[in-house]
């Protein structure tokens, strides 16, 4: 298992040119006219082709910067609330200062992801993980309070469902937890919502196929441009 990065610059370099869990959902969107990949997926594939053929001159800025900064501030309190609620005291918070990038072994060097929280066993494997979401807009957490199962996540938040299924594939864990946290809720019990997510084999098989196809398309783009 990879060691946590000592700084975010190393983490960005590890991710550069690879398809990652946080954006993998883009590959699942079909084109309206029946093509395998939609416009968003093609843009994502092209982005990875560009990254494979250029130097990382500066740290890329992620979308929705304000929302990202909000999440960073509240991630550790969310982790603390999660440990208190679940009594999972052996869980390790990786945080934003020491992120861990794990490659997807069947497609090493092309694909990977970064867990928020993991449980490392005595044999140095990961058997449980968790994904933290701290939405800046309180309406999103409010909606999640009535969710019951992973199928609610799939229906209402497919992006993070794909992210967690991909992390389950990468780590081989038996379970992942979805954590939504909002400290602004008046009732303590409503500040955190935790939903257990199990491996979804059918979803994972489709995701694996899409990733493999995306890698081939990325490489075709690279070859067509380098042969000019």
Element containing residue 9 per DSSP (H, E): helix 8-15
* Residue appearing with tokens 């052996």: 90
The pair of structure tokens assigned to 200 is 């979804």
Q: Please report the pLDDT score of residue 99 as a whole number.
A: 83
- Residues 147-201 have pLDDT tens digits of 999 999 999 999 999 999 999 999 999 999 999 999 999 999 999 999 999 999 9
Q: Where are the beta strands (DSSP E) in 98-221?
A: 102-103, 111-113, 117-120, 126-133, 175-181, 192-197
pLDDT at 64 over 50: no
CATH top-level class for 8-226?
Answer: alpha beta
Answer whether 94's CB lies under 8 Å from 116's CB: yes
CA 67 vs CA 41, 63, 80, 143, 215: distances in Å:
23, 9, 20, 17, 30
pLDDT bucket at 227, cuts 50 / 70 / 90:
confident
Q: Is 163 left (phi over 0), alpha (psi -120 to 50) or beta?
A: alpha
126-133/175-181 β-pairing: parallel
- Residues 204-223 have pLDDT tens digits of 999 999 999 999 999 999 99
Give domain limits for the chain.
Answer: 8-226
- Residues 6-57 have pLDDT tens digits of 555 677 788 889 999 999 999 997 766 667 898 899 999 999 999 999 987 6
Element containing residue 19 per DSSP (H, E): strand 19-20
């Amino acid at each position: 298992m990879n060691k946590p990065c000592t700084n975010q610059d190393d983490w960005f370099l590890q991710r550069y040119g690879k398809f990652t869990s946080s954006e993998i959902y883009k590959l699942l969107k079909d084109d309206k006219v029946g093509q395998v990949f939609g416009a968003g997926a093609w843009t994502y594939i092209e982005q990875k082709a560009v990254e494979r053929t250029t130097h990382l001159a500066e740290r890329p800025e992620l979308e929705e910067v304000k929302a990202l900064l909000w999440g960073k501030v509240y991630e550790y309190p969310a982790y603390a609330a999660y440990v208190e609620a679940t009594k999972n005291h052996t869980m390790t918070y990786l945080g934003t200062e020491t992120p861990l990038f794990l490659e997807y072994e069947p497609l090493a060097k092309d694909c990977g992801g970064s867990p928020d929280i993991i449980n490392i066993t005595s044999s140095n494997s990961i058997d449980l993980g968790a994904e933290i979401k701290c939405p800046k807009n309180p309406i999103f957490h409010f909606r999640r309070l009535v969710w019951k199962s992973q199928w609610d996540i799939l229906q209402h938040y497919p992006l993070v469902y794909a992210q967690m299924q991909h992390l389950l594939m990468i780590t081989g864990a038996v379970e992942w937890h979805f954590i939504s946290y909002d400290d602004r809720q008046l009732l303590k019990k409503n500040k955190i919502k935790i939903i257990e997510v199990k491996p979804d084999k059918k979803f994972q098989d489709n995701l694996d196929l899409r990733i493999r196809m995306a890698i081939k398309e990325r490489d075709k783009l690279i070859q067509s441009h380098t042969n000019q």
